[in-house]
Structure formats: structure tokens, C-alpha cells
């Protein structure tokens, strides 16, 4: 069995264990066994990290010295690239990612995005002269300046932890913020490697801190409620996002939220290769554990039976093609934990109870390994009112809903509390664009287009979030704008 090296906290420039040497077990989703240990930080450890980040922001030139920051963050980016193999091992054994997903969202995708973040940083307009203006009889020369937002608490989930950490930490550091990272308890070592590499490349004390712990709430809530923290950058569930907004209100800190989704794909009846479009909609990538995963498939009633037959054949074919950790083409393995497996199974039971037809899957598969395996699962004859169509399952479960016409498809797609991503397929580009414009989500892909990229802002409408990650807009989350007026 693979064992991962034990992680360490990184606080105020020092790599160390948690107070009292406390650690907790890091569990492999493939086997359900311990594959490493992580520091179980106390409130005192987090307090020290917040104090260090505050001190580094208030008393060092980190926020002002753009060139030095760029140089150090570049070194960190290069160190991450040089440690790709370690990242791959963590993604495989801790996150439970098969090799096909490692090559995409888990490791190689975010590593490739790092360089683009520097290109965006170089394009930031730090100062904008606004000219002279007489207001209330006073003539002033005005200037807008961009400044770092302050101390940032980064709280991450376990599904694509490296991707999310890169998307938050690198822009925050480049913006001049100091950062405390609080990784998800299920994937601590994907966080601690960041601290190890920051120490290796010589980061100044307190600029970046990484604090792991077993309790899912304690450390994150300290960041949210502490007035020394100026901004929370959170990715996770909508329920926890709401709690963070509520708890953060007392100190009125900036709250940036990337939350859940229940995204819809609309396959219009004029889609040229209808069967391929439907087949490509099965939910298997990383066992459906993706916020932007399209989990509601909307197909025209006029071609409904055809779509169901395609899905039946596709799922049957896929059944032998998942669960093998060594296969480089495999994109689906286990779900993260026993807790998540049980949560997903309760949704599957709810779908059956509400009268949806289970077309494929729906079972726990112990033959795939001792870990947490659930079959790729597809429900048809679903209505948009059912719980499986309304709530985020975060597992390998697709629900299929028929629509009457284009207007009905748009209505169903938008009839959701969420608004993260979506897809439209049609043989008529103008029609596809017309529909895409009316979908109330932060991203939409047309005819298989990928709307996730380092230079494209990503974020949700409605209860899928507040704010944008990646792109120039992703940097803006970590910047303040100051207006200066000098009497002429
Ligand atoms: P989660 O909300 O349970 O936990 C996310 C993080 O918040 C963890 O680090 C957890 O320890 C911490 N946390 C929990 N309670 C907290 C509290 N009261 N105060 C502060 N921090 C707290 O989410 P998860 O199960 O780790 O991840 C899955 C969720 O993440 C899904 O809903 C998914 O859609 C979402 N997600 C969203 C995006 C996006 O970009 N929109 C990306 C990936 C995942």
C-alpha cells in the first residue's frame, strides 16, 4: 500500500507539527485505509497563523513590492511544476483520482494554468490617472490605485483541491495579500505540500500559512469570524457558504463564494450527431464530484426514446471502464469517503421513492475495491420537481428530463436554485447562442465548448456563489480600489 509522507503545518515561516503533536489519519478513497497522517491543528495554531499573516501584511513591504512578489510566487509556481510527481501521488491516493482525471483537472490542468496567471498579473492596471476636476470649487488631480485586499482566509473543498488552491492562492499572493490556507479535512496533504514548497523557495515569514485539521468547522470558522482576516475566499457547498456569509457579517469582511451547482445540458432536437451528444452527457468524470458537472440532461420529448436507448447502451459499455487506478484513460474511481458514499446512496433511494426510473447503476460496488465505489447511475423519467433534480448529489448520478420545445428547455434549465454552468447543443449556431444567453449561469458551453480556462472568469449566479475565480476578474477579488485626490 502506498504511504504518503506526513504533512506539516506552515505557520509564520516555520514548518512544524500541530500543538501537542496531534495528527489524524488521511484515508484512501480506493481502499478505505490510512495512507498518511496530517497535523490536527488547534485553535492556538490557527490563532498564530492569523497573527503571522496580519503582521506580514501590516509590517512588511509584501503588499507594495510587486517585483519581489512576482519573483517569489514564480519560484513557488516552478517548484510546484518540479514536484508534479508528488502532486500526482497525492491526487491519486488522497483525492482518489484515476490517472485520466489527474491529467485533467487534478494536477496537469492547474499546473498548466499557472503561467497564464502571471500574464494576467502583468496586465493589471495598478494606477489609473483620472485627470483634474473641479468639484465643489476645489480643483483636484485624481488617481485611482489598486491595492491588496489584506489578509485572506482560503477555505477549500476536497474534490479538486489543487486546482482550487492554485486558483485562489496564486492570484491572492500576486495581488499582495497574505494568505492562510485551510484545506478540506479529507485532503490535507494537497494543502501541506504548498507550505513545504513555499518554505523551500524562501517565502517571507507569515506571507503564506497552511493550517490543517480534522474538525471540518473549527479552523474555518475562526478565519470567518476573526476581525484580523479581511477576506474569505471559499469554495465548497452552498450550505456552508450561507453559514460563512452569516458568520462573516459581524466583522463585515469581504466574502467570496464558489458554491455548488445542478447544471443542465440542453440537447436540442436539431443537434447533428444527437446520439454522440447524448452519450457524452453521462456523468462519470471524477465520479461526478465536480461543481460544474452537468447533472441534468434535458432532451426533446420528440427524441426521448432515442436518447434513453443511447444512454442505456453507453452506460452498459462504460461499466467495465471505470475503477482501475492504473488505467491512464480511466476518469472515474471511488467517491471521497464513506460519508459521501452514504449521502449519494440516500439520493439514489430518494429518486426511486419519488418514481424516477433507474436506467442504470444505483449500487455500491465492493468488487471494484475496499474503498468507496458507486456505479455510474442514470435516472430517466425525472421531473424537475424531484429532489434528485433539485439538489446537488455530488456523485456519479445523471437525471434525464424531457422538454416540449426550446422555451420549455430554457424554463427547466433555469428552474433551479443554482446557476453555475450549463451546455447547449444544436445544429444551428445562432439558435444555440440564443439559448445560451438565456441560461442564468456563470458559464455555458456550446456544442462541446469548454468554458473553463485560466483566462476565463468562473463563478456562479444565484445560490452557486458570489464573485469570480480565474481571469482578470479573479484577481479583482483580492484587490481594493482607492481614489486619491490632490488639490491642484
Ligand atoms: P463543504 O462545504 O462541506 O466544505 C468545504 C470547506 O469548508 C472544507 O474545508 C470544510 O472544512 C470547510 N467548512 C465546513 N464548515 C465550515 C464552517 N462552518 N466555516 C468555515 N469553513 C467550514 O464542501 P465539500 O464537501 O468539501 O466540497 C463539496 C462542495 O464544494 C460541493 O457543494 C461542490 O459543488 C462545491 N464546489 C464548488 C466549486 C466551485 O468552484 N463553485 C468547486 C469545487 C467544489
* Mean pLDDT, range 184-208, rounded to an integer: 98
**Is the Cβ atom of 222 under 6 angstroms away from ligand 1?**
no
Query: Is pLDDT above 70 for 419?
Result: yes
Span from the CA of 298 to the centroid of ligand 1 (angstroms): 27
246 within ligand 1 shell (Cβ under 6 A): no
Cα 183 to middle of ligand 1, angstroms: 10
3-state SS string for the chain: CCCCCCCCEEECCEEECCHHHCEEEEECCCCCCEEEEEECCCHHHHHHHHHHHHHHHHHCCCCCCHHHHHHHHHHHHHHHHHCHHHHHHHHHHCCCCCHHHHHHHHCHHHHHHHHHHHHHHHCCCCEEEEEEEEECCEEEEEEEEEEECCEEEEECCCCCHHHHHHHHHHHHHHHCCEEEEECCCCCCHHHHHHHHHHHHCCCCCCCEEECCCCCCCHHHHHHHHCCCCCEEEEECCHHHHHHHHHHHHHHCCEEEEECCCCEEEEECCCCCCHHHHHHCCCCCHHHHCCCCCEEEEEEEHHHHHHHHHHHHHHHHHHCCCCCCCCCCCCCCCCCCCHHHHHHHHHHHHHHHHCCCEEEECCCECHHHCCCCCECCEEEECCCCCCHHHHCCCCCCEEEEEEECCHHHHHHHHHCCCCCCCEEEECCCHHHHHHHHHHCCCCCCEECCCCCCCCCCCECCCHHHEECCECHHHHHHCCEEEEEEEEEC
Q: Which of 177, 196, 284, 291 is catalytic?
A: 291
**Ligand 1 centroid – CA 20 distance (Å):** 27
| Residue 85 falls in the annotated catalytic set | no
153: Cβ below 6 Å to ligand 1?
A: no
pLDDT of 340: 98
pLDDT digits (tens, 9 = 90+) for 133-171: 999 999 999 999 999 999 999 999 999 999 999 999 999
- Is residue 480 among the annotated active site residues? no
Domain with residues 9-259+465-487, CATH architecture: 3-Layer(aba) Sandwich (3.40)
Q: What is the pLDDT of residues 54-82, one digit of tens each?
A: 999 999 999 999 999 999 999 999 999 99
Assigned CATH for 263-453:
3.40.309.10
C-alpha 352/C-alpha 295 separation (Å) is: 17
Q: Report the predicted TM-score, pTM, of the whole model to 2 decimal places.
A: 0.97
Residues of the chain with CATH 3.40.309.10: 263-453
Look at residue 2 and tell me whether its pLDDT is greater than 90: no
- Identify the band that residue 103 occupies on the pLDDT scale cut at 50, 70 and 90: confident
The Cα 9–Cα 20 span in angstroms is: 13
Mean of pLDDT values over 310-319: 96
Instruction: State the average pLDDT over residues 17-32.
Output: 98
Measure 364 CA to ligand 1 centroid, in angstroms.
Answer: 24
157, 214, 342, 459: which to mutate for ligand 1, most atoms within 8 A of CB?
A: 157
CB 436 within 8 A of CB 263: no
Tell me the average pLDDT across 439-456: 97
Q: Is 65 or 1 the better-scoring residue by pLDDT?
A: 65
| 220-227 mean pLDDT | 98
Judge if the beta carbon of residue 217 lies within 6 A of ligand 1.
yes
Span from the CA of 238 to the centroid of ligand 1 (angstroms): 8
Atom of ligand 1 nearest to the CA of 239: 2
Q: Is 394 in the pocket of ligand 1 (CB under 6 A)?
A: yes
- Is the beta carbon of 260 within 6 A of some atom in ligand 1? yes
Give the percent of the chain with pLDDT over 70.
Answer: 100
Residue intervals in the chain for CATH 3.40.605.10: 9-259+465-487
Cβ–ligand 1 distance for 334 under 6 Å, the answer: no
Mean pLDDT of the chain: 97
User: How far, in Å, CA of 444 to CA of 441, rounded?
Assistant: 7
pLDDT for the residue 329: 85
Give the model's pLDDT for residue 324: 84
Chain segment 36-45, per-residue pLDDT in tens: 999 999 999 9
Per-residue pLDDT, averaged over 471-475, amounts to: 97
Q: What residues have CB less than 8 Å from 246, skipping those under 6 apart?
A: none
- Taking CA atoms only, the protein residue closest to ligand 1 atom 9 is 184
Predicted pLDDT at 1: 65
Ligand 1 contacts CB of residue 233 (under 6 A): no
Spot the catalytic one: 94, 196, 258, 375. Answer: 258
Mean pLDDT of 321-347: 93
Amino acid at each position: 500500500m502506498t504511504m504518503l509522507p506526513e504533512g506539516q503545518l506552515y505557520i509564520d515561516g516555520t514548518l512544524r507539527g500541530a500543538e501537542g503533536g496531534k495528527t489524524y489519519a488521511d484515508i484512501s478513497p480506493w481502499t478505505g485505509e490510512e495512507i498518511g497522517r496530517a497535523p490536527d491543528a488547534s485553535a492556538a495554531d490557527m490563532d498564530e497563523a492569523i497573527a503571522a499573516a496580519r503582521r506580514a501584511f501590516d509590517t512588511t513591504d509584501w503588499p507594495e513590492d510587486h517585483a519581489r512578489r512576482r519573483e517569489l510566487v514564480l519560484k513557488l509556481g516552478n517548484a510546484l511544476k518540479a514536484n508534479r510527481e508528488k502532486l500526482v501521488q497525492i491526487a491519486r491516493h488522497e483525492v482518489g483520482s484515476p490517472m485520466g482525471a489527474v491529467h485533467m483537472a487534478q494536477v496537469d490542468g492547474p499546473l498548466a494554468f499557472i503561467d497564464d496567471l502571471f500574464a494576467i498579473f502583468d496586465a493589471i492596471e495598478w494606477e489609473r490617472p483620472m485627470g483634474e476636476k473641479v468639484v465643489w470649487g476645489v480643483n483636484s488631480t485624481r488617481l485611482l490605485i489598486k491595492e491588496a485586499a489584506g489578509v485572506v482566509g482560503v477555505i477549500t473543498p476536497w474534490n479538486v483541491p489543487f486546482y482550487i488552491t492554485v486558483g485562489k492562492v496564486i492570484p491572492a499572493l500576486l495581488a499582495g495579500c497574505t494568505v492562510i490556507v485551510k484545506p478540506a479535512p479529507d485532503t490535507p496533504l494537497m494543502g501541506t505540500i504548498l507550505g513545504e514548497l513555499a518554505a523551500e523557495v524562501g517565502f517571507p515569514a507569515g506571507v503564506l500559512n497552511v493550517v490543517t485539521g480534522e474538525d471540518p468547522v473549527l479552523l474555518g470558522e475562526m478565519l470567518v469570524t476573526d476581525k484580523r482576516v479581511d477576506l474569505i475566499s471559499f469554495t465548497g457547498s452552498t450550505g456552508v457558504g450561507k453559514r460563512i456569509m452569516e458568520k462573516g457579517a459581524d466583522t463585515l469582511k469581504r466574502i467570496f463564494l464558489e458554491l455548488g451547482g445542478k447544471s443542465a445540458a440542453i440537447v436540442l432536437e436539431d443537434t447533428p450527431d444527437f446520439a454522440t451528444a447524448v452519450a457524452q452527457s453521462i456523468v462519470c468524470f471524477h465520479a461526478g464530484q465536480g461543481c460544474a458537472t452537468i447533472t441534468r440532461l434535458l432532451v426533446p420529448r420528440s427524441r426521448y426514446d432515442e436518447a434513453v436507448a443511447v444512454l442505456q447502451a453507453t452506460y452498459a459499455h462504460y461499466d467495465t471502464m471505470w475503477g482501475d487506478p492504473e488505467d491512464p484513460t480511466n476518469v472515474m474511481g471511488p467517491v471521497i469517503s464513506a460519508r459521501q458514499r452514504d449521502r449519494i446512496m440516500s439520493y439514489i433511494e430518494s429518486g426511486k421513492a419519488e418514481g424516477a426510473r433507474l436506467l442504470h447503476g444505483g449500487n455500491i460496488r465492493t468488487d471494484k475495491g475496499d474503498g468507496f465505489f458507486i456505479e455510474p447511475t442514470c435516472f430517466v423519467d425525472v421531473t424537475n420537481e424531484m429532489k434528485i433534480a433539485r439538489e446537488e448529489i455530488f456523485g456519479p448520478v445523471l437525471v434525464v428530463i424531457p422538454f416540449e420545445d426550446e422555451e420549455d428547455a430554457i424554463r427547466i434549465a433555469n428552474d433551479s436554485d443554482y446557476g453555475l454552468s450549463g451546455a447547449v447543443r444544436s445544429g444551428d449556431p445562432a439558435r444555440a447562442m440564443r439559448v445560451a444567453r438565456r441560461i442564468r449561469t456563470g458559464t455555458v458551453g456550446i456544442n462541446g465548448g469548454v468554458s473553463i480556462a485560466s483566462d476565463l472568469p468562473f463563478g456562479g449566479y444565484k445560490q452557486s456563489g458570489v464573485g469570480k475565480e480565474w481571469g482578470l476578474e479573479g484577481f479583482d477579488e483580492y484587490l481594493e480600489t482607492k481614489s486619491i485626490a490632490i488639490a491642484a
